[in-house]
Amino acid sequence: MVRAAKSLEQQRVFRYHSRVFHSLLLTRLKQPFLVLLVALLCISSRAQGTNIYGMLSPKLRQFVASHPELSSSFSNVLSETFSNRAVQLYYYYTDDESMPRASHYYVSKSSVVIGIRENQQTSDQYICLVFEMLNSNGEKQFYSLTEKAQSGKISRTDFAKGMLRQEFQAVKKVQKLLRDLEHSKTVFSESEYYKGFMECPDTFEGFLNYTTSAISERNEVKQYEQLYDSMRHTAAAGSVQSIVNAH
């Protein structure tokens, strides 16, 4: 029972951490994140030997095809993130702006689910997907931090900063990708995410300040600290139940 509870708690963590940077960019994100997978499309694949573009929505495929630089960048990201891992891609529709535009979590080790809101700007579909792909690459680090938090081997603050530090790696990679595109400002002129990524500070400390100042009434460090408290509470409850069962 404890093992099962831990697995569910880990899934909760991975669903949660992927929306943290998104909340930085979308000011209307107010409620705790619940994964929405009202899937109209689900394709599971290993990237090697598969036409990954078949996983994309028609308008995103067209968007990538019409900009050769994006196609090249996408292929590079794909090679980096899913050469040896399975991926499932879900599209969902919602008019609820409190929901994130994209998210990812891990079904199991080396198996990733990415959810993308279809009814948003196509340029934001692209940015969201690339970010989630790169962010999912931190699987081992996210698992490690979660397990340390559950066992009390890491402090609240170190857990929060560790999760954000890993997210920051993906943020910087997306930022570099956008900066390297020759006409990115034009290509992403209608994007809500483009400016947020481009203006993100270059240092982790700057990023921490950015996450607390870019959106009023939000503090991403505190949110992860609250998640840490929840995990510790769940772990403690599981330990007590194990003792009761033993007697």
pLDDT band of 188, cuts 50, 70, 90: very high
| β-pairing verdict for 86-92 and 111-117 | parallel
For 158, the 3-state DSSP assignment is helix
pLDDT band of 239, cuts 50, 70, 90: low
Q: How far is CA 239 from CA 3, 226, 246, in A?
A: 11, 20, 11
Question: Does residue 14 or residue 65 have the better pLDDT?
Answer: 65
Cα first-last separation, the chain: 16
Does pLDDT of 176 surpass 90? Answer: yes
Question: Does residue 120 or residue 108 have the better pLDDT?
Answer: 120
